[in-house]
């Protein structure tokens, strides 16, 4: 009985969360049970009400950040003894049809962590975001001595081993790079799978850009120094 | 620098280094942060004991007034102490807050599930 937990951190995502949940496939080859978990990170809109199709909604009483919401999701996945975990953005930029390809390497034992790689060279990605993502790839490699094609992707798959071994402390977006650091630290088997990114006017406004890269990098340095 | 300034600097340096060491021993702080704080405060003590370092630096910046190094030295000691306390406390509180919120949200979801 293979259980997959799909973790969707959400902050004020009333416009997209319903569609994201509805588009998650009901069946994935090799998986017996799919549990959709929304982590409402202190939203002050109708995110919770719109997340009716989620199997579980965990609510942070205050907004902390995507890192904190992801960690809450991971903790819950451990509690329900999920065999595999996937993280998905709530803004609708990920295509849930890519889930099957994403989990394949962890299902087969080829990888402990799989990253869904956005095509950073694609012209559909806004220039500001593209520069921000490239910058973060370089900064992540400098800090963690690990080069990955898309360090800031929110779509990743994990097996049980990775889930229990990772020691994450990030509150915000810096969690994406911290996970890259965990790959090196724990010597995880790592794979990358190309994914489609759906850019709408809504999803363009969300996520990271070059301006918050500076903020993320500052937080990463602090994290690197203070992490036990 | 006056004897008072030297005593104040050494006093705060000892507090910070001992506190940082105890935090490191209890696993509340990383070794790197303990080493950084210790190094910073050893520099502060060095400037307090050998004030000519600060006076030279001030002179290089264009001021010929003797004693300004003393004032700056005391100000720096107090400022660094405040920064140290704020930094360690905020870091710890942020971590504890995240843990608390994670536990509360999971507990509430479990309670809701049980009551169904």
Nearest-CA distance B35 → chain A (Å):
10
Residue B47 or B65, more confident: B47
pLDDT single digits (tens) B17-27: 999 999 999 88
pLDDT score, position A69: 97
Residue of B nearest to A75 (CA): B102
* Facing residue for B106 by CB, picked from A58, A64, A226: A58
Side-chain-facing half-sphere of A81: CA atoms under 13 Å:
2
pLDDT score, position A123: 67
Secondary structure element (H or E) that encloses residue A219, with its range: helix A210-226
CA distance A11 to A173: 13
pLDDT single digits (tens) A163-208: 999 999 999 999 999 999 999 999 999 999 999 988 776 666 665 6
> Which chain A residues are within 8 Å of B27, Cβ to Cβ?
228
Residue of A nearest to B27 (CA): A228
CA distance B33 to B39: 10
CA distance A220 to A201: 29
Kindly tell me if the per-residue pLDDT of B62 is higher than 70. Answer: no
pLDDT single digits (tens) B27-42: 888 999 999 999 999 9
Kindly tell me if the per-residue pLDDT of B65 is higher than 60. Answer: no
* Facing residue for A225 by CB, picked from B33, B98, B104: B33
Nearest-CA distance A66 → chain B (Å):
11
> Which chain A residues are within 8 Å of B93, Cβ to Cβ?
none
CA distance A111 to B5: 59
CA distance A9 to A196: 19
Secondary structure element (H or E) that encloses residue A84, with its range: strand A84-87
Residue pair A120/A47 in contact (Cβ under 8 Å)? The answer is: no
Residue A59 or A126, more confident: A59
CA distance A80 to A130: 37
Give me the residue label for tokens 């990605």: A125
Give me the residue label for tokens 């996937």: A86
Q: Check A79 against B106: CB less than 8 A apart.
A: yes
> Which chain B residues are within 8 Å of A56, Cβ to Cβ?
109, 113
Q: Check A60 against B36: CB less than 8 A apart.
A: no
Q: Check A227 against B30: CB less than 8 A apart.
A: yes
pLDDT score, position A210: 60
Q: Check A228 against B106: CB less than 8 A apart.
A: no
Kindly tell me if the per-residue pLDDT of A121 is higher than 80. Answer: no
Residue pair A117/A153 in contact (Cβ under 8 Å)? The answer is: yes
Using a pLDDT cut of 70, give the percent of chain A over it. Answer: 93
Nearest-CA distance B99 → chain A (Å):
8
pLDDT band at A159 (very low <50, low <70, confident <90, very high): very high
Nearest-CA distance A67 → chain B (Å):
10
Token representation of residue A201? 């006017």
pLDDT single digits (tens) A73-110: 999 999 999 999 999 999 998 998 999 999 999 999 99
Lowest mean pLDDT among A40-54, A111-125, A141-155, B3-17: A111-125
Residue of B nearest to A76 (CA): B106
Kindly tell me if the per-residue pLDDT of B87 is higher than 70. Answer: yes
Mean pLDDT (chain B, rounded): 85
> Which chain B residues are within 8 Å of A174, Cβ to Cβ?
none
Give me the mean pLDDT over the B58-80 stretch: 72
pLDDT band at A122 (very low <50, low <70, confident <90, very high): low
Nearest-CA distance B76 → chain A (Å):
22
Residue A134 or A3, more confident: A3
Secondary structure element (H or E) that encloses residue A158, with its range: strand A156-159
Q: Are strands A3-10 and A84-87 parallel, antiparallel or unpaired?
A: parallel
pLDDT score, position B71: 73
Give B1's contacts (C-beta < 8 A, 6+ positions apart). B47, B48, B49, B51, B54, B69, B70, B73
* Facing residue for A58 by CB, picked from B32, B36, B105: B105
**CA A41-A46-A50 angle, 5° bins:** 95
Nearest alpha carbon to residue A47 among A100, A9, A81: A9
Residue A134 or A66, more confident: A66
> Which chain B residues are within 8 Å of A73, Cβ to Cβ?
none
pLDDT score, position B72: 74
CA distance B95 to B85: 16
CA distance A219 to A172: 9
């Amino acid at each position: 009985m293979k259980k997959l937990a799909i973790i969707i951190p959400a902050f004020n995502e009333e416009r997209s969360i319903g569609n994201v949940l509805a588009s998650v496939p009901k069946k994935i080859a090799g998986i017996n049970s799919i549990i959709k978990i929304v982590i409402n990170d202190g939203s002050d809109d109708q995110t919770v009400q719109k997340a009716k199709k989620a199997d579980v909604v965990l609510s942070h009483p205050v907004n902390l950040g995507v890192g904190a919401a992801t960690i809450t999701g991971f903790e819950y996945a451990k509690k329900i003894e999920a065999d595999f975990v996937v993280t998905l953005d709530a803004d609708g930029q990920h295509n849930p049809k890519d889930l099957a390809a994403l989990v394949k390497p962890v299902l087969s034992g080829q990888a402990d962590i799989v990253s869904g790689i956005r095509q950073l060279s694609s012209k559909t990605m806004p220039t500001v975001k593209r520069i921000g993502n490239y910058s973060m790839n370089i900064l992540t490699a400098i800090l963690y001595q690990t080069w990955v094609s898309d360090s800031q992707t929110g779509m990743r798959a994990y097996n049980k081993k990775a889930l229990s071994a990772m020691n994450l402390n990030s509150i915000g977006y810096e969690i994406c790079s911290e996970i890259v650091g965990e790959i090196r630290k724990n010597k995880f088997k790592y794979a990358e799978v190309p994914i489609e990114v759906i850019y709408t006017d809504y999803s363009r406004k969300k996520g990271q850009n070059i301006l918050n890269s500076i903020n993320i990098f500052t937080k990463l340095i602090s994290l690197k120094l203070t992490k036990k | 620098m006056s004897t008072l300034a030297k005593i104040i600097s050494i006093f705060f340096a000892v507090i910070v280094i001992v506190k940082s060491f105890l935090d490191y021993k209890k696993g509340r702080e990383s070794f790197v942060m303990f080493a950084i704080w210790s190094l910073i405060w050893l520099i502060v003590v060095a400037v307090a004991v050998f004030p000519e370092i600060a006076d030279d630096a001030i002179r290089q910046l264009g001021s010929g007034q003797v004693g300004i190094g003393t004032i700056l030295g005391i100000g720096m000691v107090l400022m660094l102490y405040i920064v140290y306390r704020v930094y360690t406390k905020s870091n710890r509180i942020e971590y504890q807050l995240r843990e608390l919120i994670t536990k509360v949200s999971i507990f509430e979801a479990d309670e809701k599930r049980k009551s169904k």
